[in-house]
Structure 1
Amino acid sequence: MHLFLHTFFNPDELLKAFPVLLTEGLRNTLLIAGLAIVFGVVLGVLLALLLLSHRRWVRLPARIYVDVFRGLPAIVTVSLVGLGLPSAGIRPFGRDPLGYAVLAIGLISAAYLAEIFRSGIQAVPAGQLSAARSLGMSYPTAMRVIVVPQGVRNVLPALAGQFIIDIKESALVYLLGLGLGQRELYFIAQERQAATYNSSALVAAGACYLLLTVPLTFLVNRLDLRLRDGGRGQNRATAVPTPVPTASSTPSAPTALEV
């Protein structure tokens, strides 16, 4: 038991690891995940619109992209993008590994978000688009102004859930060899563990990940519940109340004089 506690919960190692994890690691993890989700949302919406096209030659490239990036393990995609592109002479970010890290996680995120947005858009009643077209809107304008915003609202919990996944997958970018000041949570913990042969830094990194993901998971559940209750509340508010008969409005039995 003493060896177990010394390996995973060494107080000295925890005190040394937490300051760097909370200042450098936490900041860079949120930076990578935040930029990746923004990139993924933009590309995911575009891919979702392509997947909904009636033209096969428009849908096919988007379907191939989604199937490939959803089918590959995330670690393979990170390696191909972060290590393969620079080796092939394709260096849009120069020698900065942080840019390739965001690109890799963003490409993976976009594939999943494309399916999320597609399902959300398809959940919007078809009459919304027909009504917009009857008002003279073009198809792109109707999708942009009427359909897509409602579709995004439908998938807000799933969108927040994908951000949680991006936070966890950001740990894979340690393969790219981030420089000092760019290291994320796992990279810092793994370096510390390799130097000390003690896993307390990894436990500290896990605690930092939980510090991010557990509140976000709670937020996702609350958001999902609120959207469901809001829909029922709106239906109740718009329902036409049934008139209740009153004494003045209920016809009385005829009296003898009336007969």
Structure 2
Amino acid sequence: MKKSTRRRLVRGLLYAVLVGAVVLLALIADWEAIRQNFLSGEVMGELWPEVLTVGVKNTVIYTVIAFAGGLALAIVLALMKLSPIAPYRWIATAWIEFFRGLPALVVILAFGFAVPIAFSWRPPGGSVGAGVLALVIVSSAYIAETLRAGIQAVPKGQFEAARSLGMTSGRTTFSIVLPQAFRIVIPPLTNEFVLLIKDTSLLFVIGAAIDERELTTFSRDALTQYANSTPLIVAAAAYLIITLPLTRLVARLERRQQKAR
């Protein structure tokens, strides 16, 4: 038997197994129970429009705040890590490695409960503000490493040419190097934004007022209220509507960069 024929047979067998598994699943599934417990139109109607005006809105707001704050802090950390002054490099490295090594959930719990008690500190925005601040700090560590790689990817000749024209080191960094570094790291930065959208779901562990709930907290409360799993499906659909276009954007940007190279 030829190799091409064998490959076609194996491929056909794999397709047949997949179709068989789907058909078997469709036959044994209790579709009425699935509809009542996961796709209840009545429960969906009760969630509307608060799922958008509360859950989606707060998720987007918390993500934008965390990303903007993390990006601003990450620029400082990346420049510190590349600094010729050793103590600056040590501080930036310690910060980045420490917060990249901890789960985001642990940092959120620490800022939500432990830090305010230890330092008699009331975070702005209450417990949700503390959680968003924790996301700022965690995201800054990851974004800083991304920016550091982008800065180092900029050809050194760009810096040397600017310096030869009489530009100061600081002006060269902010006018020449950083803009090029940002263009290089746009795809991973967009990916970090997508990860932050999903990380906001961790804020449910520190509690929130009714009008401060993000998607996960909103759906969890609705799940308890209606004793039905439909809110989880609604929240999952909302997350996908937000994240899928962004992931496609990342893929498109990566393809454009590969063509440019």
TM-score normalised by length of structure 2: 0.84
Is 1:67 paired with 2:78?
no
Task: Say whether the 8 Å CA contact 2:223–2:230 is kept in structure 1.
Answer: yes
Q: CA deviation at 1:103?
A: 0.7
Instruction: Mark the structure with the bigger radius of gyration.
Output: 1
Aligned: 1:81 with 2:111: yes
For the residue of structure 2 that corresponds to 1:198, the secondary structure is coil
**Aligned match of 2:121 in 74, 78, 90?**
90
Point out the more displaced range, 44-53 or 11-20: 11-20
**CA-CA distance at 1:87 after TM superposition:** 2.1
User: How many residue pairs are counted as aligned between the two chains?
Assistant: 230
Residue segments in structure 2 that go unaligned for 5+ positions in a row: 1-29
Contact 1:85 1:91 in 2 (8 A): no
Between the two proteins, what is the percent identity of the paired residues?
A: 38
Q: Does 1:179 align with 2:230?
A: no
2:49 equivalent to 1:19: yes
CA contact (8 A) 1:74 1:108 kept: yes
Which residue does 2:88 correspond to in 1?
58
Report the Cα distance in structure 1 between the residues aligned to 2:89 and 2:106, rounded to whole angstroms: 25
Question: 1:85 offset after TM fit, Å?
Answer: 2.4
**Offset of residue 194 of structure 1:** 1.8
Is 1:9 equivalent to 2:39 in the alignment? yes
Other structure's SS at 2:210 match: coil
For residue 66 of structure 2, give the secondary structure of its aligned residue in structure 1.
helix
User: Which residue of structure 2 aligns with residue 132 of structure 1?
Assistant: 162
The residue correspondences of 1:141-220 to structure 2 (distance < 5 A) are 141-220=171-250
Q: What stretches of structure 1 of length at least 5 have no aligned partner?
A: 233-259
Provide TM-score, normalisation by structure 1. Answer: 0.84
Report the more deviating stretch, 188-197 or 8-17: 8-17
Q: C-alpha distance in 2, partners of 1:177/1:60? A: 35
Q: Which has the higher helix share?
A: 2
Could you say what secondary structure the match of 1:155 adopts?
helix
Q: Which runs of 4+ in 1 moved over 3 A?
A: none
Cα RMSD after superposing both structures: 1.5
Per-residue Cα deviation, 1:62-119 (whole angstroms, up to 9, x for no partner): 11111111111111111111222222312241x6233222211111111100010000
Equivalence for 1:227: 257
